[in-house]
Structures are given as structure tokens and as C-alpha cells.
Structure 1
Amino acid sequence: MLANPATALELDHVSRHFDGRAVLSDISLSIPAGKITCLLGQSGCGKSTLLRIISGVDRPDPGGRVLVGGTEVAGPGRFVEPEDRRIGFMFQDYALFPHLSVADNLAFGLRHLSRPERRERVAKVVERIGLGHLLDRYPHSLSGGEQQRVALARALAPRPSILLMDEPFSNLDQGLRERVRRETVDILRETGTTAIMVTHDPQEALAVGDMIVLMRAGRIEQVGTPFEIYDRPCSAYAAEFMGPCNRLTGLWSQGRIETPIGAFRADLDMPDGALALACIRPQALSIGPDGQGISARVMAKTFTGESEQIDIMVHPLAQTLRMHSHVRIPMGIGDKVSLQLNGAQVHVFPEEPGTDDPLDQS
């Protein structure tokens, strides 16, 4: 097979079973070179297992293949050891050696090079990431952000063809997490590194990924750019995982779903009379003075700083609808209002009874 220079990694029908239970089921995927790909999904969906198979720490079931740069590194009758794959791994806890200085941590994976080559390689990565003032320090004396930067530098020093990152920002506080994440993404883009990052946070995947691979119960649910996967989800599961939704069940009739708050068109191949599901983003809803839309009542308001979260009741719905507003709403709890909708933020799917909740992390 000839290597496609635009493709850094290919997974071909990769599955993995443990004790008879399928953790991964028939995963086929191409990872673009020089881009950041996020493996996204709830706990237990198989994303970390997939990362271990890519790295060579684990093997796929017989029949599955892993190709790096067009070369098979795992498949029928072939297995390349992790150290020979040119794949870097950045662990969730950073895994810095506590007894080694920062300089020695950075040089640890370069023992195959001569001493002058090691010094040159460390100097370049130190300059790139800005670690010169930390070289004589030890991991225990570093802040969380500094440890993360050292771990990134150590992973990049051997110049891997692919960098794997398993929840790399989860140990950082929120404010620090966002800053370090931006710095890391900037470095990866400047160096043209092909990176695969595991995360359970859809907002993080949307902010970081050039491509998102949404996983569900060991399978790929959807692959796309952040805009594609958020604006055009392939299923109710994908829509709800990528952001909050109000769920409304209705009847499908003549190319649209009929709900108590209106009818919404969609391109679905369904018979008239079938049940359909409308997933309505909170930002699709707005309210105004009573008498200018669908009659509703304000049931709750929660101020979150950047926006206000408002729960409204519309007859005959049994549950409230939730909306987000970045504009201060003068109406108070109990006031009658009029509900208005932006149909562009409504996603319609066939009804799937018993669908698992994407927000259930148990």
C-alpha cells in the first residue's frame, strides 16, 4: 500500500474484546497529517483503549490493522513494538521522572542519539516551548502548568510522527487549563505536529480539534470538523452530547415534525405518522412581551455571568424548555411571555426509544 502524505494514521476494522465484551467494534478511521484530532466520548466508550492500540501498548483483535504513514505496525502476522513506531505519548498525569531534573527528563527519550545531538535537540525544544528557566528544577517544584509544558516538550523532543495525548489538561484548574490548552495548541500548530487527543469534554474538543471523532459504546458515532459535528449532528445522541438540547417528540407529516411549539422541516426518509424527535438548542429560543408569539410563562431564572439561563413553560408540554440569553431579560419568575424560535438551531431525527443519555457518565 502506498502512503498517502495527507494521512498520518489509518485504522482498518479495529476491534478489541476483553473477557468476551466488545470495547471497540470495527473501527475504521483515517487521521489527517499535521492536524489535531480529538477522540471524544463519555467514560467507557473505548477512546483510551483505541489510543493504547495506536501506541502499541495493546493489540487489536485478529483482523484489525493499524498503519502509520502507510506502513502496517499492527495486523495479521505483524506487530511493531511501541518504541519503534515513532509515536509519542503524553500521559494524563504527565509521568515525569521525579528523580530527574527537567533537562534530564527532556533528554530521557533521546538516548539513541549522541551526546551533542541530545544537547542540540533539547536546546531546540526548550527554545520552542520556553523552558530555559526550568532546566535545573525537579518535577516536585513545578506548578501544574509547568509540569504540563515539560511533559509536552519531552514528548516532542524525539520528533514523533504522531503525538498521543490522554486527557492532557484534566488535572489543571479551569482558568489555568484554558491558558495551557491555548499554549499547547499553538505549539502543536507551529510545529505541524499530528496529534490525537482523548477528551470527554465536548467544549474542549470544539475548541481544540481540527477533526472530532465522537465515539459511543465502542463505535464511531460521527466524524467531522467542529462546525460539522455541532451544526449537523447525525443523531440525537450526537446533538445532545455536543451541547444542551430541549427534546420534543412529535409526529412526522409531509416532511416536517409537528410539535406543540411549531412545525420543523427536515430531510428525513420517514412515513407520515411516525414519531420523530426535535432537539432544540437553548440559543434557538428567545422570549418577548406576551402577545407576540407562543404563549409561555417564566418558571425559573439562573444568572451565570456571561448569560442567563431561563426555564419557560409552554402548554401543553409536561416539562419546561430551557433557553440561554446573553441579553438581560426584564421578565420575572411567573410572568407571561411570548416564545419565539430560530429554526436553524433545531435538529430533527427519527425517534429512538431507549436511547442512552449522552450526559450519563456512569
Structure 2
Amino acid sequence: MNDAVLTIAGAFKRYGETQAVAGVDLSLTSGEILCLLGPSGSGKTSLLRLVAGLEHLDAGELRIGGEIVDDARGAPRPPERRGLGMVFQDYALWPHLSVLDNVGLPLRERGRSDWRKAARVALEQVGLGTLERRHPYELSGGQQQRVALARAIAARPRLLLFDEPLSNLDAKLRDELREVIAHTVREAGIAALYITHDQSEAFFLADRLGVMRDGKLLQLDQPETVYQRPVSPFVAHFTGAAGPFAVEPLENALSWAGIVAPCPPDAALNGGGPAALYLRPQWLSPAEPGAGAVPGVVRVSGYAGDGWSALVDLPNGSIHLRLPQRVAAGERLHLRVDWDKALLYPRDHKR
């Protein structure tokens, strides 16, 4: 891509016997937020450290702004010469400096005479324009992370790197800060590579979303595509689908514990044989007993404000559902499935 801010081609990185990054290719354009989602050990942070210049490629090539910064042959370009801004879990603020000085110090060190003006603009963008004289110990955790974000964007870098920046905050602050990040980054028109293991965070922020496992990038696409059509059982399960439920494909249909249902369109099956069914909670709704209705038994339930949250046992598996009325443990119910959206894979799918 000619307008790519970041291009990674065939990236490999090994630590001893562990292949942390295994042949990753991706590109990122100006103003785009690309989120990488995956469990611990999936390779997402190792990839970010390669982009940051904190690690060196074993093989492959990495370009920022069209310039090679690491190609596994020579010495990589150091972090301070890559035009990056970084926001990590640890806010890394200087406790003896004011908010304004924390944001402006990197600019001062580069000899910017307008550092105060640039720092104040960044603080206004993150909603802290009135707190420039305070010190970090006078701020909440959410405010401290806003200062870290302001410091990262103050120099208007071409690329921002986020490594689990909200993982130390409570749920309410995470929701608030992800909105600040989305607005601030897009308003500034900066490309961002965002690493997280939090599904809701990734889906909310991403223009494109990648899912990693064992150092490999399994799927990279728009968030709605990853959600609606995950390429594998792992991607489906990691992004919140319940399963696998064992089913048997029939001609233009499938059998689930004696229930015959239509085969989902675009089912990822190659020939016959056992299959694995994955369902998202919103694809099931209460129904009257009858043909096609799936029986379930409530294992445990609790009030969730806008309904009842219940763990429901279905044939050969279980699923968490949000139900509109009170349900009790042991209660039996029947559910209608939106088969047009259901996900079906060969039972022996390897990815």
C-alpha cells in the first residue's frame, strides 16, 4: 500500500524454543486504528515490541513511513528515530513534574521552543486542559492514563502504539477511556496499532481487527466480518461464540441431538463427517416447544439490570444468555436459533 504508515512483511521472532511471531504480514494507513486481539502468549505484544524497536526481527521486513527500520540483516533503527508515540499499561509519569511538564518534556528534549503550546493542545484534546499544574499523585488512574495519551500525541507522531493501556482500570473507566482514545486518535489523524486481550475494547476501537494465536495472524478484517464470519473455531470462540456443539451434517440440513435444523449458509464444511456448531447468545431467543426448538435447562441465573443473565445447558454444551424475564436454576425452556447466522466448522478444524 503506497500510503501505508506501517508495513510488516514476513515477520518472524523467536525466543529460545518459542516462536513468538510466525510470518506475520500487515499494513496500517494514516488515521486507521488496527487492533490485535489474542490470548496471553499469542504474539501480539512481541509484534508490537518489534514495531517499537525494542526487539529485532529474526526474518522479514518492517517499514514505517515507507522507510525500512528493520529487515533482520543490519542494525534496526532505534525507537527514538522511528517517529512513534507509545502508551502502555504503566503510565510512566514523572511524579515530581506537573502534568504540563510531563506532557512537554519529550518535546523539550528535542529542542522544541513551542513545547508548552503543543502540550496544552494535547491536554485539551484529552480533556485535561484545566489540570496542567497538578502532579500525577493528585490524579486518578484514568486521568493519569489521559496524561500518558496526551504525551504520546503531543509531538504528532506518524504512528501510535498501545499495549493494553486500559487493563489496569476498572470497567467504567475503561469504557470512558476507550472513547477518549477513539476520538483523540481519529481527530489527530494518526495511525495506531492497538494491542489488547479485551474483546469489547478491540471491537469498539478497531477500523480493522486481527486475531492472533501462537505467533500467527489468523484473521485480519473489519470487526463486523471477524464477528459474523470468523475463519476458524478458535476465532469464533475467542470472540465470544459458545461451542463447540457436536452436530451431524445431513443433506441441506444438520442434526443436533435429534433436532433437525437447516444447514447455515456459507458453512465452512469440506464434505461430510462430524461438525462443530458455534452460536452467539443474541442468535437464540425464547420460543414455544415445537419443531426446531432447542431444549435447554438453566444451570444458574442472576439479575442483570436489563434482564436475567443465565447459564443454560443445551444438548452437548452450554451458553450464557440474557433473558427478558426471571428464570431459576433447573427451569426448562425452549429456544429458537437464527440458523442463518450460526457458525459451522469441520470437527477436526485445526486453526
Give me the TM-score of the superposition, normalised by structure 1: 0.88
Q: Which runs of 5+ in 1 are unaligned?
A: 357-362
- Structure 1 partner of 2:69: 73
Summarize the alignment of residues 336-347 of structure 1 with structure 2, pairs less than 5 Å apart.
336-347=332-343
Give the aligned residue type for 2:56: R
From the superposition, tell whether residues 135 and 214 of structure 1 become closer, same or farther in structure 2 (CA, over 3 Å): same
Give the aligned residue type for 2:275: A
How many residue pairs end up in the alignment? 346
Kindly indicate whether residue 302 of structure 2 is the aligned counterpart of residue 302 of structure 1: yes
1:335 Cα shift?
4.8
- Structure 2 partner of 1:4: 2
Give the aligned residue type for 2:8: L
Alignment RMSD, CA only?
2.3
Give the aligned residue type for 1:71: E
Q: Is the 8 A contact 1:297 1:334 kept in 2?
A: no
Q: Distance in 2 between matches of 1:259 and 1:28?
A: 39
1:344 Cα shift?
2.8
Q: Is the 8 A contact 2:122 2:153 kept in 1?
A: yes
Give me the TM-score of the superposition, normalised by structure 2: 0.90
- Structure 1 partner of 2:321: 324
The C-alpha deviation readout for 1:278-335, integer Å capped at 9, x for no partner, is 1122222222344475363533333322342344555xx344x435235225x65545
Q: Distance in 2 between matches of 1:154 and 1:250?
A: 53
Q: Distance in 2 between matches of 1:10 and 1:58?
A: 16
Summarize the alignment of residues 213-362 of structure 1 with structure 2, pairs less than 5 Å apart.
213-254=210-251, 256-260=253-257, 261-263=259-261, 264-267=263-266, 268=268, 270-272=270-272, 274-291=273-290, 293-294=292-293, 296-300=295-299, 301-312=301-312, 317-319=315-317, 321-322=318-319, 324-328=321-325, 333-352=329-348
Q: What SS does the corresponding residue of 1:238 show, helix, strand or coil?
A: helix
1:206 Cα shift?
0.8
From the superposition, tell whether residues 208 and 107 of structure 1 become closer, same or farther in structure 2 (CA, over 3 Å): same
Matching residue within 120, 123, 127 for 2:124? 127
- Structure 1 partner of 2:114: 117
Q: Distance in 2 between matches of 1:295 and 1:243?
A: 20
Q: Which runs of 5+ in 2 are unaligned?
A: none
1:339 Cα shift?
2.8
Q: What SS does the corresponding residue of 2:145 show, helix, strand or coil?
A: helix
Give the aligned residue type for 1:164: L
Kindly indicate whether residue 101 of structure 2 is the aligned counterpart of residue 104 of structure 1: yes
Q: Distance in 1 between matches of 2:331 and 2:116?
A: 70
Give the aligned residue type for 1:111: R
Q: Is the 8 A contact 1:303 1:309 kept in 2?
A: yes
Q: Distance in 2 between matches of 1:124 and 1:318?
A: 57
% identity of equivalent residues: 34
Which moves more between the two structures, 93-102 or 209-218?
A: 93-102
From the superposition, tell whether residues 124 and 310 of structure 1 become closer, same or farther in structure 2 (CA, over 3 Å): closer
Which moves more between the two structures, 286-295 or 139-148?
A: 286-295
Q: Distance in 2 between matches of 1:100 and 1:128?
A: 20
From the superposition, tell whether residues 290 and 78 of structure 1 become closer, same or farther in structure 2 (CA, over 3 Å): same
